[in-house]
Structure 1
Amino acid sequence: MESPDVENIVYDHRLSSVVPATITGEGRVLNLTNADLAMKLHYLRGVYLFRSEAVDGLNTGDLKSPMFRMLEDFYPAAGRIRTSPEDGRPFVKCNDSGVRIVEAKCSKTIDEWLDMSDQSEYDHLLHHDQVLGPDLGFSPLVFIQITWFKCGGLSIGISWAHVLGDAFSLSDFLNKYGPAMAGRRDLPPKHPHMPTADNHNSPKPRTQKLFPFSLGSVGPVGDHWKLTNTCKMATQSYHITDKQLNALIFKVSGLKQSAKVKPFEAISALFWKSLAKVKEGSGLETVTIVKNGFHSRGNGLLPCRNGQVISAVKAEMRVSEADVLELANLIGEKAVDETGIIDETMEEENGKSADFFVYGANLTFVNLEEVKIYGFDMKGQKPIFANYTIGGVGDEGAVLVLPGPENLKGKEGGRIVNVILPEHLLGKLKNEISKELGTSPN
């Protein structure tokens, strides 16, 4: 349990708002797709750390100023959730209510922060733990926290309602910040066509009566978009270096080098088996795989979209005793795409007798290897460390696989693996992963 001293590392919080520099216009909305609504109880959290030289000469006003211009183009981020009076379906009213800004100070230096053995446990101090509601119509969709460190370094933390878009959309949004600070306008065309609120997809007949394995349900949450867990959830972060990753892939593939597995598959299989050992095989026969569904996102549209492919993988063997290569092959070759079935389920049933969620309905592996997390720069300098996690994960947990650091001297490359699980499982999982990989959480 965190002590008051730990909580006080980040202090002097101040709130303000940023709105689009020009009025968006009357009646403009962002319709939420079924894929968006499947993510309504989830939140993306991001943290970017910059050394002092990247922000030398800048103050908080300098950092906020470009956001006004950015929001002219990304105006749904400054909107608020409303519901259709006809059918109760949520949509985003683009009413320029603003993105909430949190300003704070940290009593540590950047290096002291990175040297904390349990750093990942405290990253939440660098971003706002946002949840939409219970005053849903007044809840900001995006919080951006600017935290100044004792050394002059800076962190930018973001909390982004997943209903706006996935992790790729979030990184697209933030990667426009550097050009905006430099006064460049290499942004999407202003006000592309946006449909009206009552023009969402018409109901479609169910092609199958199957309920998606990768979807969980809870009683209707009403105006408070929060997933309530039955146990305390916590996050543990691993940095798997290039050397360790290559050794893992070699170990998994064995003598069958022609069957060399991909990094995401090897990592996911390792954590799947290790967690099955920790839980003694209970309830881990089926897992969910989430990956990028768009081959190209540079189409000039607003970056507010959920484009994940959501698949289910079912093991017919005892996972705790399975060969890791066999599990990796299941993930790579036997995943069943449930995106279409989820779309149909959401169209028919969402908000009527239940609400739904994806992350943590099963143990969920999220492939974020292709997220351009280090595309966000300040004055041409990239962050020394960047990280994403997810809020609102169900009890079965989630494992996120991200690119490793690009600019952290001596620790570059590899993958960052963020594990979100019931807190009581993390210590046992750490021991299993350490035995298999020879590494410990950051």
Structure 2
Amino acid sequence: MPESWARPPVPRLPGTGRPPRLHDTATGERLCSAPDDVIARLYVCGITPYDATHIGHASTYLAFDTLQRVWLDAGLEVHYAQNITDVDDPLLERAEATGVPWRELADQQIDLFRGDMTALRILPPQDYVAVTEVIDEIADAVAVLLERGTAYRVPTPGTADGGAETDDVYFDIASAARTSPWRIGEESNLDRAEMLTLSAERGGDPDREGKRDALDPLLWRAAREGEPSWESVLGRGRPGWHIECSVIALKHLGHDFTVQGGGADLIFPHHDLSAGHAAALSGHPLAKVFSHAGLVAYQGEKMSKSLGNLVLVSELLQRGVPAPAIRLALLAHHYRDEWEWTQEGLDRALRRLDAWRSIRSKADGTSALDVLDQVRDRLADDLDTPGALAAIDAAAASGVDDPTLIRAIADALLGVAL
């Protein structure tokens, strides 16, 4: 299993906070994120390692870093797992386009991502799992789905029918709906036409001949010439996209875990279908709360690898931008909002960082304990980081009776080291 990154210290604060109420994508309601016991279990989908780490990535991981910090402040333990999609079509396409071997490209980008997460003081996962480390386990899970009739084989183009080891394997969404506590669209709340459009845009193949339903997703891709593949109980091949997260999450967190997180572009098809795979395997829902971070734009378009309009964390750091200022620029936006990265926003964050670092001690100033209560209250309300920043802004403007506690609040709950 790959190493994650160094864990930053998290100061202890007076008293105890409370678990936040989080917006649940599936129901549209705010649900309590308290676990059934003292361990909050979190899964956040990791990177496909090319063009890492852009500000959109950082915004997502910072959102769920904030969630971890609020849980810890509430006296909970946190078990956090994250995958790395270190073999997939986009990575292979980038490797071919750049002439860099796919494994070398993946390793370079994973190292860069770890460095960025360390600089931003993001709390690391306890389980940081590369897909290529669990090929056998994923293949075994697909074999179980085949045996149960919730998966089926489709002959690979160019091969004769009936050669099991050269067949692709697909998930049968209709069968899964009959036999497990899951229905397609339950998380995303999209209609079929919307799902078909997004499937075509986000890695699906709705026009593939031989599928029982256009929305059935690929579970296992039989080996193709020139592509990496592994020997398994299914023959040579590699996993489809969604099944990797289902298997990794079930292995490390179990079913019905506390929160499934990721960017809003993962709601469909990735999270909807990985929840379906997990339910078909376990007989239980994947998670209690499905939480998604809004997408970040740049230069008028959603920041994306395909468009190339990326602002990279590593480049900001190389320019001398302090990592706490990058965090503050991201925290100034509610995690579910869609917003645009601008130099003006970064400049505001730099001014805020200076103001917080210059906070004055004033005997009759604002009570730092009152500020702590305000910050806790805001973060308990669906991780309202703009409200939390405003509480510390007011304290910085007026002076406080205990600047040391304010610094600890900023560090423990917002990850901003002053």
Greater share of residues in strand: 1
TM-score by length of 1: 0.24
The structure richer in helix per residue is 2
